[in-house]
Amino acid sequence: MKNNSTFNIQHSTLKKIAISIGDLNGVGLEIALKAHNEISTFCEPIYCINETMLAQGLKLLNIEKPSNFNLYPTKGEFEIKPSKVTKKSGKYSYESFFDAIKLAKKGKVDAITTLPINKQSWSEAGIKYKGHTEVLRDFFGEDAIMMLGCDKMFVALFTEHIPLSKVCDSIKTKKLLQFLLDFQRSVKAEKVCVLGLNPHAGDGGVLGEEEVKIIKAIKEANDTLGKKVFYGPVVPDIAFTKHNRENFKYFVAMYHDQGLGPLKALYFDESINASLNLPIIRTSVDHGTAFDIAYKKDSHINTTSYINAIKEAIKLIEAR
């Protein structure tokens, strides 16, 4: 790691959080700048971006650099093109993320929080991964768990960024069992609602047989824990009703949109993303690059998800 004037971790009691800056053609930098003073009251942020790229973004936004805006100088220079998909912005967002990972792995920071990347930009840059979680899973050789939500409700995804056509074949009893045990160990939940896959949770096999595997995984997980933690498979269309949300804070969905559709309908601005079951702590905003409002005047950028992601990182640090 370089020791220079732009990277100078303060000796304070605040937790140190590395911020990967995300796609600079999107809203990530503006979010970081607008929220800096607030989050600096409860953590020490280190932003993975170099002075040249920061200066360019500040000029486009017509914003002054905040005080104590500590940088870890991610290498690379390119022209920021607001609201555009470009391979250079994709590559830089990946390099920023990788710098944050390295800081956490070396113990230089307590956790990382990621601002949004653009999957198409990553693809154009030749990056094989579809998102942050896949990078972390490969880098650490661990089965990272993607969990999204807020204090009111969290949803863990058994399958993530795969086509819907492949979900059925992905549901295996042994794999789901390990997922459930890893998830419970990560969040220490006392009650978890596990969704079925098919309408009516299969109706006893009439509408699909995947629930047989889910039932077996739930039973074996509860037997392993010596107590009833996992409930289900719950019929998907009633899993997120008000009554059920009053009984459960944690949910396990079988596929991406099954869990995230209801979550975002209920708590879009508040929700965050967390990667569990890893040697490091990583949280993120639960939204994209918002190219439609990036670098636009009067865009009313909402920083709630980002601030909540920082707060959740601190909670996870303190829970270890």
- Taking the CA atoms of 267, 239, 208 and 134 in sequence, report the sign of the dihedral they define: positive
Contact (CB, 8 A) for 108 and 1 = yes
Which pLDDT value is given to residue 11? 54
Q: How confident is the model at residue 138 (pLDDT cuts 50, 70, 90)?
A: very high
DSSP 272-289: EEEEESSSS-EEEESS--
Indicate the CATH number of 1-142+279-320 among 3.90.480.20, 3.40.50.1000, 3.40.718.10, 2.60.40.10.
3.40.718.10
The pLDDT of residue 319 is: 81
Q: Name residues whose C-beta falls within 8 Å of residue 113's C-beta, 6 or more positions apart in sequence.
A: 17, 18, 19, 20, 282, 283, 284, 306, 309, 310, 313
Q: What integer pLDDT is reported at residue 26 of this predicted model?
A: 97
Would you say the CATH fold of 152-269 matches that of 1-142+279-320?
A: yes
State residue 269's pLDDT score: 87
d(CA 223, CA 238): 26
Percentage of the chain exceeding pLDDT 70:
96
Has residue 12 got a pLDDT over 80?
Answer: no
Which residue(s) pair with 289 in the sheet? none
Long-range contacts (CB closer than 8 Å, 24 or more residues apart) made by 221-226: 221/177, 221/180, 221/181, 221/184, 224/177, 224/181, 225/181, 225/184
Q: What is the pTM of this model?
A: 0.87
- Which of 144-158, 195-209, 243-257 comes out lowest in average pLDDT? 195-209
The closest alpha carbon to 130, from 139, 119, 140, 141, belongs to 119
- Average pLDDT of the chain is 93
Structure tokens at 111: 């956790």
Q: Which CATH superfamily is domain 152-269 in?
A: Isopropylmalate Dehydrogenase (3.40.718.10)
175 pLDDT higher than 90: yes
Residue range 147-168: average pLDDT?
Answer: 94
pLDDT digits (tens, 9 = 90+) for 217-242: 999 999 999 999 999 999 999 999 99
What per-residue confidence (pLDDT) applies to 202? 82
> For residue 208, what pLDDT is reported?
82
| Lowest mean per-residue pLDDT among 2-11, 43-52, 185-194, 310-319 | 2-11
Which of 31-45, 46-60, 195-209 has the least mean pLDDT?
Answer: 195-209
Residue 4 pLDDT level (bands cut at 50, 70, 90): very low
- pLDDT of amino acid 3: 35
- Parse the chain into domains and list their residue ranges: 1-142+279-320, 152-269
Q: Is the pLDDT of residue 187 over 50?
A: yes
What are the pLDDT digits (tens) for 242-283? 999 999 999 999 999 999 999 999 998 899 999 999 999 999
